[in-house]
Amino acid sequence: HKVVGVLALQGGVVEHLSHFKRAVESNPEQYGPFQLEFIEVKTSDQLDRCNALVIPGGESTAISLIAERTGLLPHLYEFVADESKVIWGTCAGLILLAKQVENAKRDQKILGGMDIKVIRNAFGRQLDSFESNLDFSSFIPNLKEFPTIFIRAPIVDQILNENPRLNENLTHPPVPMAKLTDGITVRSENPYSNSSPVEILHRLENGFIVAVKQGNKLGTSFHPELSENFLFHKWFLDTFVLAI
């Protein structure tokens, strides 16, 4: 029995829950009735029950502010430092998972679970929101055309690693400066240091990194919970949650 929580402080919570439900209900013979339980997470008691946590899209500044006010933030720091737990951050959730964020708001707190530097709101004004069919078949078998939705999305700018050469071929076009003028750089206060390397799962044609994995942690710039298709959620359950 595995408990999958969706952090329910702000943002797209019900969409994730309904995609997981659909993934499980359409494959009853694979999952059985009691293997997976899905809950909303607002308190540390609920978080303690979770084997996996999804941090949804929304507004990373609002999520961290609410986590601070409700006293959940230190528990989230501990949760991301426990490598037996699975975590998936989508969009604002990816920002929260990073160790460093550019174009952040002052006072915004990040959890520091992944050795990545993220640029918040990295797409230009005209691309604030867009949809694109992406080929994820290099890491999700047969998923060749996944309708992928980006909303004021972040990108992964750098892998924070002792080996700087790793970033040499990660260059991407500069992000539109208009988006970056009022932001500051924020670093996580969490001293956690991840024991696995960062793997890049997907880059857009222009080189922007939009999906990464590090150990049991997954980060995506986009919102699979907002497309009709639940296969990304099924892949997450099968390769992350059921593997722990």
Terminal-residue alpha carbon distance, the chain: 11
212 forms bridges with which residues in the sheet? 200, 219
Q: Tell me the site size for ligand GLN, rule CB under 6 A.
A: 11
> Which of 95, 20, 11, 92 is closest to 50 using CA atoms?
20
> What DSSP letter does each residue of 114-180 carry, written as one string?
EEEEEETT-S-GGGSEEEEEE--TTTSTT---EEEEEES--EEEEE--S-GGGGTT---PPPPGGGT
Contact 51, 85 (CB under 8 A): yes
Residues with catalytic annotation?
Answer: 91, 223, 225
Contact region with ligand GLN (CB under 6 A), list: 33-41, 56-64, 208-216, 235-243: 56-64
Smallest gap from Cβ 60 to ligand GLN, in A, equals: 3
- Compute the least distance from the CB of residue 183 to ligand GLN, in Å: 10
Nearest distance from C-beta of residue 92 to ligand GLN, angstroms: 3
Q: Tokens in use for 149? A: 């939705």
The answer on whether 183 is annotated among ligand-binding residues is: no
235 touches 140 (CB < 8 A): yes
For residue 225, what is the DSSP state? G
- The rounded distance, in Å, linking the Cα atoms of 207 and 92 is 20
Q: 152 among the known binding-site residues? A: yes
The β-bridge partners of 86 are: 52
Q: In angstroms, how far is CA 148 from the centroid of its own chain?
A: 14
Q: Which is nearer to ligand GLN, 120 or 234 (CB)?
A: 120
Least distance (Å) between residue 128 CB and ligand GLN: 9
Neighbours of 59 (CB within 10 A): 17
Strand partners, 150: 130
**Considering only 46-54, 57-65, 161-169, 234-242, which stretch makes contact with ligand GLN by CB under 6 A?**
57-65
The answer to whether the annotation marks 69 as part of a ligand binding site is: no
Question: Is position 106 annotated in a ligand binding site?
Answer: no
Pattern 105-124, ligand GLN, x by CB under 6 A: ---------------xx---
User: Of the listed pieces 45-53, 58-66, 159-167, 187-195, which binds ligand GLN according to CB under 6 A?
Assistant: 58-66
Our CB check for ligand GLN shows the closer of 51 and 108 to be 108
| Cβ-based nearer residue to ligand GLN, 57 or 215 | 57
Kindly tell me which residue out of 40, 59, 78, 238 binds ligand GLN, with binding defined by CB under 6 A: 59
Among residue numbers 137 through 166, which ones bind ligand GLN (CB under 6 A)? Answer: 151-152
Of 10, 51, 60, 148, the one binding ligand GLN by CB under 6 A:
60
Binding-site residue set = 58-60, 120, 151-152
Q: Which residues bind ligand GLN (CB under 6 A)?
A: 57-60, 91-92, 95, 120-121, 151-152
